[in-house]
Amino acid sequence: MILPSDFDFSLSTQEDILIIKLNFTRATLKEASKFKEIINTAFLQKCRKYIIELTDVSFIDSTFLGVLVWAQKKLSTEEGELTLVGVERDIYTIIGAMNLIKLFKISESMEAAVSYLSSK
């Protein structure tokens, strides 16, 4: 799989799962466009399982959250799946306040996320 390269994102694969680690503390408009490009490129290359690792992220704005919603909806139309890992309490609260908890699968660990997506 050929994907855009960027120091803000670490990309790896495990089985047929693309793991995208966000290497920044603030997920904002600036990062959202590059993130969307990565998801779109992988999607066009038939990747349908994604783990988004948010361990380093302590703030997420509505634009970045909107890209996550877009990605989840895009994947669900093609029987794909996205799971979030390393979600801090404040971000979890924001996701809950926006009634998005049911939209996203949030895994407790990378191992749990890989196991979950491997079973799909």
Beta strands in the chain (DSSP E): 9-14, 17-22, 26-27, 49-53, 59-60, 81-85, 105-107
Q: 20 pLDDT band (50/70/90 cuts)?
A: very high
CA distance 32 to 87: 17
Q: Is the pLDDT of residue 6 over 60?
A: yes
CA distance 37 to 6: 11
Is the torsion defined by CA of 80, 115, 119, 91 positive or negative?
negative
Cβ neighbours, 10 Å, residue 2: 7
* Confidence (pLDDT) at 120: 82
DSSP-assigned beta bridge partners for residue 14: 17
Return the percentage of the chain with pLDDT > 70, whole number.
95
Q: Could you report the per-residue pLDDT of 66-82, keeping only the tens digit for each?
A: 999 999 999 999 999 99
Q: Is 70 helix (H, G, I), strand (E, B) or coil?
A: helix
> Rounded to whole angstroms, how far apart are CA atoms 61 and 70?
14
Q: What is the pLDDT of residue 7?
A: 74
pLDDT of residue 5: 55
Please, what are the domains in the chain? 9-118 (3.30.750.24)
pLDDT, tens only, 81-120? 999 999 999 999 999 999 999 999 999 999 999 999 999 8
Q: Sign of dihedral through CA atoms 57, 81, 65, 107?
A: negative
Residue linked to tokens 């990747």: 47
